[in-house]
Amino acid sequence: MGIKNLHKLLRKWENVIQERNIQDFAGKKIAIDISILVYQIVIAIRNTGTDLVNTNGDITSHLLGIFNKTISMLEKGIYPVYVFDGKPPNMKNSILKSRREQRKKAKLKMKQADNKEDKIKYFKRSVVVTKKQLNECSQLIQLMGIPVVNAPQEADSQCAQLAKDGLVYGVSTEDMDILTFGSPRIIRNLSSKKKEIIQIDLEKILKKLELNYLQFIDLCILLGCDYCTTIPGIGMKKAYQLIKQFGSIETFIESLNETDIKKEYENLNKSLVPENYNYRNTSNYFQNPIVKDSKQINLQWTEPDYDKILEFMVSQFGFNKSKIQKGIARLRRAYNSLNKNNKQIPHYIC
């Protein structure tokens, strides 16, 4: 997932990757790709080798994680927007297929594992987050008064669109291709207790690397993304070098017809452009993914329905009542102080 080595490449420039404190995001609206978050949560809870399961045998880890995470974000003064995936685009088929195979392999290895450590390792790797689980998350989130956006295709590109149109300040994700989709900024490790929070602004990248947005997309395609193969022999260094020299993948490939350039590059690294190298479609997709129009989206944070949350978590999913009540108390406090601060600062940005 994401753009291969983009983070590593960006480290070569000063001040492109910025360290941030959680307080910097107080009062800000942040879009969150929920499926990645749920995966992280469920995998993390698998540390012990089991899922949280209710009396029906259904997994409940995702609900606990989303419940806690949402409360803690509100306590920090952050306004989260959760974005759900729709149908994956065809271009992603090959990636999805290989992931399914990976999971299959992991399941097999889990069964074959003879020690506990390995069993847990492959147990984690074979995580599948179901539609049903995501629907349950959506219900809980809405009971908590948090807005939900259902993307027609990928949550990624929808998050980027929200940020581009100024409906949110930025996108919290680990996936660097949010920037390729044109989000003005990415926020990594936002809710991590161990890792430093990092912010990367698209404008800073373009300025420091001296690229325009289209060239940045081409750079990402050369580095390697989910939608397109790469050119063998071209890694971090050459990708950047080629974009700087030729201005685009298109021009680079055209230049290969000129014998001297062709010789230069073939002698240098035997790099060959693969058959069916669909960099054009990929670039188009990054520029114009299928997303919901921001004009049709009205983000609103409303008072949580505390009673229904209790009913949902305790009666329906078997969580411990007093624990959920504690959470709800925190939620109530967070919501009230959020509202208060909001009134004091009428023109908070995103």
Partner DNA sequence: ACTCTGATTCGAGACGCG
Partner DNA sequence: TGAATCAGAGT
Partner DNA sequence: CGCGTCC
Applying CB under 7 A, which of residues 24, 54, 108, 329 lies at the interface with DNA?
54
Binding mask 18-47 for DNA (x = CB under 7 A): ---------------------xxx-xxx-x
The nearest distance, CB 343 to DNA, in angstroms, is: 26
Cβ neighbors of 188 (< 8 A, separation 6 or more) are: 172, 173, 174, 195, 197, 198, 199, 200
| Of 38 and 162, CB closest to DNA | 38
Strands (DSSP E) along 133-196, which ranges? 148-150, 170-172, 185-188
3-state helix, strand, coil in the chain (%, to 5): 55, 10, 35
Q: Residue from 93, 94, 135, 192 that binds DNA (CB under 7 A)?
A: 192
The Cα–Cα gap between 292 and 82 comes to 14
Distance CA 176, CA 156 (A): 10
Q: Is 234 in the site for DNA (CB under 7 A)?
A: yes
Based on the shown chain and the rule CB under 7 A, indicate whether residue 213 belongs to the binding site for DNA: no
Q: Which stretch binds DNA (CB under 7 A): 150-158, 188-196, 250-258, 337-345?
A: 188-196
277 binds DNA (CB under 7 A): no
CB 153 within 8 A of CB 86: yes
Q: Does 329 bind DNA (CB under 7 A)?
A: no
Closest approach of DNA to the CB of residue 176, in Å: 6
The single residue listed with the structure tokens 């299959």 is 104
**Segment lying near DNA (by CB under 7 A), choices 139-147, 200-208, 298-306, 318-326:** 318-326
Separation of alpha carbons 248 and 242, rounded Å: 8
- Picking from 48, 41, 47, 81, the residue whose alpha carbon sits closest to that of residue 64 is 41
**Contact footprint for DNA (CB under 7 A):** 1-2, 7-8, 39-41, 43-45, 47-48, 50-54, 60, 64-65, 68-69, 72, 99, 102-103, 121, 124-125, 174-176, 191-195, 230, 232-239, 267-270, 317-320, 323, 326
